[in-house]
Amino acid sequence: MLIKTCVPASGKRVIQEYIFSLLQTCKTETNIVQIHSQIVLNGLSHKNNIITKLLSFYAAFGKIQHAHKLFIKINNPKTTVWNYMIRGYASSNTPWKSVQYYNQMVLTESEPDGFTYSFLLSACVRGGLVKEGEQVHAVVLAKGYCSDVFVNTNLINFYADRGGVDEARYVFDDMTQRSVVSWNSILAGYVRCGDFDAAMKVFDEMPLRNVVSWTTMIAGCAQNGKCVQALSFFGQMRRARVELDQVALVAALSACAELGDLKLGRWIHWIIMLMHLHCILVRILLDTHVSKILKLRLFRKAHEENCKQAELEKKKTGKEAEMEKAKGINLKKEECKR
């Protein structure tokens, strides 16, 4: 439980350690606001270790303005603190501010590291900062971070995102070490530009696949009209016993709706209900799928009714023909009698 009153100076160290332990286990935005109030109440706003930790949580929760207010209170922020801010702005609606923070950072004694450049590249992707991203690549090469897996993976994302999959492939091929995230990045690059032959080759060559690898192929195929292939990958994913996530289920359901696969669509619908996935997109697709099912049922009903009507018409026509024939025979008989 949080302490609600200020404590004597003799207990400050105990309170400081206690609040820091709370920060270590903080999980929600509400918790961080409560802890912040205790930091102010107990006069700990000047403690860099506590403020830095608090700042990291605000940045992670997207409360970048709160993080900025704390940042300006820190004397001589270390590289880690700069990285918190650069990363926070990279995920915000103003990603170009990451570049501004980096420019300020290089004027201080703090030395950028691999995380700094990785977060900067993420900001360039989010903000469409092509020129700045290319400049970061040049600095990465000059500073010797070209063997950093994290940095290279973000370089792949940067080039692939703006359609430069060839440049992304060059970075990928030049990597001495690759993570599954690196493989997923180049895979997504090929899918994004619609080169499914290259994507399939990468997918087959992957030494390790995770749920992102599968969902990239399933969603990519579904979104590009390759619904049969999407459901094929979905089936392979299930057989590989990879845990199904929301992306895979939504993409597969979309493919089912397009192909009219009622059996699989109902099964996916059941799984979604079981997993309590009630996001707007899922509900829209469920409505779409149900709509497709209703249309198919109406079509079948109309088809059956048309068939029945055709049979009736055929029988009616047959009977009328027989009646006409019988009528003709009777007329001939009457003529003969005359």
Where do the domains of the chain lie? 211-324
pLDDT tens for 236-290 read: 999 999 988 888 888 888 888 888 887 888 888 777 777 765 554 555 555 555 5
Looking at residues 299-328, what average pLDDT do you find? 57
Confidence band (pLDDT; 50, 70, 90) for 132?
Answer: very high
Task: Collect all residues with Cβ–Cβ distance below 8 Å to 168 and sequence separation of at least 6.
Answer: 155, 156, 157, 158, 159, 160, 185, 186, 189
Secondary structure letter of residue 193 according to DSSP: T
- pTM for this one? 0.73
CB of 130 within 8 A of CB of 124? Answer: yes
Strands (E), 106-171: none
Quick one: residue 276, left, alpha or beta (phi over 0 = left, psi -120 to 50 = alpha)? Answer: left
Type of residue found at 57: F
pLDDT at residue 172 is higher than 70: yes
Confidence band (pLDDT; 50, 70, 90) for 1?
Answer: very low
Q: What's the rounded Cα separation, in Å, for the pair 263 and 121? A: 44
